[in-house]
Amino acid sequence: MSLQENATMTTFAQSAATLWGHWAHPPVAAGQQRREWRRERIKAMINGAASFMVAPTVSFEDTGTSNGSFGWSGWTLRLRKDRTADSALSYEDFVKYCRTMYHETRHAEQFYRIAQGLAAGTLKYPDVSPQTTLQAVTASGGGAGVKGKVALS
């Protein structure tokens, strides 16, 4: 499975279409805010698309004018928080937001695939001794090394 597969893209797009259908008036539970309902759906979309790997933690933050970014060191997908509070978000901005979600999750997959290759020994760090490579791949304390960043599947 991969985010490059048509089936994965189609499922994500269908989930986004469903989200858009409820964006302005989400079916929120008593005491729940609209933005929280939207954020839960966005996290579910990302986790669903990335179900074959360790999905990044999704956080909603002040990202300025950027819709989001992926940080591999904290394995975090940061998404623009004000978008989820905007019931009047335009369809164009919604599509751009979803495109950013998918694009940045693809970056997570790229790092995940690199980690798989390093762990399997089929990919080597350039210009690094085998001992240093082994140490980097197997390190687990304090989140160091590839194994500390990504759980192997």
Looking at residue 152, its pLDDT comes to 44
Looking at residue 147, its pLDDT comes to 52
Which two three-digit tokens encode residue 143?
Answer: 């989140």
Q: In what order do the strands lie in the sheet containing 57-61?
A: 57-61, 76-80, 68-71
Q: Does residue 27 sit in helix, strand or coil?
A: coil
- DSSP per-residue letters across 106-153: HHHHHHHHHHHHHHHTSS--TT--HHHHHHHHH--GGG-HHHHHS---
pTM value?
Answer: 0.78
Q: Give the pLDDT of the chain (153 residues) as one tens digit per residue.
A: 899 999 999 999 999 999 999 999 999 888 889 999 999 999 999 999 999 999 999 999 999 899 999 999 899 999 999 999 999 999 999 999 999 999 999 999 999 998 888 887 787 666 666 677 666 666 654 455 555 555 544
Architecture of the domain made up of 6-109: 2-Layer Sandwich (3.30)
